Amino acid sequence: AQKVTQAQTEISVVEKEDVTLDCVYETRDTTYYLFWYKQPPSGELVFLIRRNSFDEQNEISGRYSWNFQKSTSSFNFTITASQVVDSAVYFCALTSGYSTLTFGKGTMLLVSP
Amino acid sequence: EAQVTQNPRYLITVTGKKLTVTCSQNMNHEYMSWYRQDPGLGLRQIYYSMNVEVTDKGDVPEGYKVSRKEKRNFPLILESPSPNQTSLYFCASSLLASGGETQYFGPGTRLLVL
């Protein structure tokens, strides 16, 4: 069975602080895919990133960066210099290709001015 | 514009009154899926479809039906809604059913069953 754990239920930061959202996953498959989605207060789910299990390169996109470490089964997400518009619920998710997309329970990030 | 659309966006109904939530995608995606989102439980898959006329149960299928007669449409049917089906529902689609393709989500449908 697959599992995704986002241990941080809520995080509050002040604008311009850096923040890291943790994601730990469990799977028995050697090929799998990890995702991050953002759910702003308006409710839609916005795709942020997809990573396959064979690509451990970290990725940076503007203020966003992702650290994938197979050794610790983690796929953490860092926002640098956070902004109020980053306030949202962030979901980490896992699939092994044909299987269901398994989501973590989400981390609510509140960035105050 | 490539998108997944859902209708209605908001719905209030009463117990036992059959309803259908429509989902349509214009990206020629093979795979479509329905999820429900509940506080503290995250997103859970209800049903999915790997292609036309191919559907299967997800983690929480009880009380729901689906059909996939056309590639672009994947309606969710609640034959006899109950209050425990009050939730936020998302439809999603991806290009292929395999290979860990990214799923793109519709805007969501908020359902309240009284």
- Reduced to 3 DSSP states, what percent helix, strand and coil does chain A have, rounded to the nearest 5? 5, 50, 40
Please say whether the beta carbons of B94 and A93 come within 8 A: no
Indicate the length of chain A as a whole number.
Answer: 113
Which of B42, B45, B107 lies closest to A44 in CB terms?
Answer: B107
Mean pLDDT of chain A: 94
Q: In A, which residues are within 8 Å of B51 by CB distance?
A: none
Contact residues for A37 (Cβ-Cβ < 8 A; gap 6+):
A45, A46, A47, A48, A90, A91, A93, B105
- Which token pair is B33? 């899926």
What is the average per-residue pLDDT within A7-30?
96
CA B79, B28, B52, A3 dihedral sign is negative
Res A49 pLDDT > 80 = yes
pLDDT of the residue at A109: 98
Please say whether the beta carbons of A5 and A104 come within 8 A: yes
What is the average per-residue pLDDT within A26-37?
94
SS3 for A48?
strand
Cα–Cα dist A113/A101, whole Å: 35
Res A37 pLDDT > 70 = yes
Q: Which helix (H) or strand (E) holds A40?
A: none
- Which token pair is A58? 């970290």
**CB-based contact, B41 to chain A, within 8 Å:** yes
What is the average per-residue pLDDT within A23-50?
95
Nearest CA in chain B to A32: B100
CA distance A87 to chain B (A): 17
Nearest CA in chain B to A40: B107
Q: What is the mean pLDDT of each run of 10 residues along chain B (114 residues)?
A: 94 97 96 94 93 94 97 97 97 88 94 97
pLDDT of the residue at A99: 62
